[in-house]
């Protein structure tokens, strides 16, 4: 009911844009419910290691609050307990990229690449695994290869706000801030309360476009 209670203020000549926005929002809401139902079913299936999954969930919660240093050891513990859990490796790769921002140590980035590679070796049909490799390759300045992984991630998870955010960051690095901003604005239609780091990416896009206010 929340969806149908929303108001849209547009000029009449914006009707086609409005139709696109409403269609995207409805699709995202339906997709969100589908994902929730799927998650409910998956919780009824025993994972390889429940403790590993617990560490993964705790790590993700901290990661999306931008507490990367606290999330990393939880992802490490996750993959120690269950080396076959692809998303555990994928998020460990992302957390290591976050550490690389601060320590600028090539070994940290190499470890991130190893984790992203392990994730893809376990599941090449998971958008998060491709997202993680795209993020790592962006920081390794392999821009073209990174783009291929981001495009694959988006094709697998077209409504994932986190993938959209990292894809937009890749676009910023490539000098395509206007496109990045469009991607971010579209993602905000689906989720007006994205992870904290999402706003940093949007701020970078606006800065690159000279929109300082």
Task: Output the DSSP codes for 36-57.
Answer: HHHHHHHHTSPPS-HHHHHHHH
Q: Are 199 and 181 in contact (CB under 8 A)?
A: no
pLDDT tens digits along 18-75: 455 555 454 444 444 434 343 333 333 446 788 999 999 999 999 988 899 999 999 9
Mean pLDDT of the chain: 84
Q: Look up residue 24 and give its two tokens.
A: 């995207």
Q: Which architecture, in CATH terms, is 44-125?
A: Alpha Horseshoe (1.25)
Total length of the chain: 213
Task: State residue 40's pLDDT score.
Answer: 38
Looking at residue 20, its pLDDT comes to 52
pLDDT per residue over 69-118, tens digit each?
A: 999 999 999 999 999 999 999 999 999 999 999 999 999 999 999 999 99
With tokens 């690095």, the residue in question is 173
Place of tokens 């513990």: 77
Percent of the chain with pLDDT over 70: 78
Q: Where are the domains of the chain?
A: 44-125
């Amino acid at each position: 009911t929340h969806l149908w209670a929303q108001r849209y203020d547009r000029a009449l000549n914006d009707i086609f844009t409005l139709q696109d926005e409403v269609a995207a929002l409805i699709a995202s809401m339906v997709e969100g419910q589908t994902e929730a139902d799927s998650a409910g079913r998956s919780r009824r299936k025993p994972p390889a290691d429940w403790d590993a999954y617990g560490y993964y969930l705790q790590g993700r919660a901290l990661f999306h609050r931008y507490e990367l240093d606290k999330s990393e050891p939880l992802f490490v513990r996750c993959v120690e307990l269950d080396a076959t859990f692809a998303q555990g490796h994928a998020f460990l790769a992302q957390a290591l990229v976050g550490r690389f921002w601060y320590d600028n140590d090539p070994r940290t980035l190499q470890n991130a690449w190893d984790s992203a590679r392990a994730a893809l070796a376990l599941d090449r049909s998971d958008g998060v695994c491709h997202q993680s490799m795209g993020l790592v390759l962006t920081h390794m300045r392999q821009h073209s290869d990174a783009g291929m992984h981001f495009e694959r991630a988006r094709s697998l998870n077209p409504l994932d706000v986190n993938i959209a955010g990292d894809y937009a960051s890749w676009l910023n690095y490539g000098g395509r801030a206007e496109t990045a901003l469009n991607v971010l604005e579209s993602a905000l239609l689906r989720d007006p309360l994205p992870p904290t780091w999402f706003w940093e990416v949007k701020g970078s896009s606006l800065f690159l476009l000279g929109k300082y206010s």
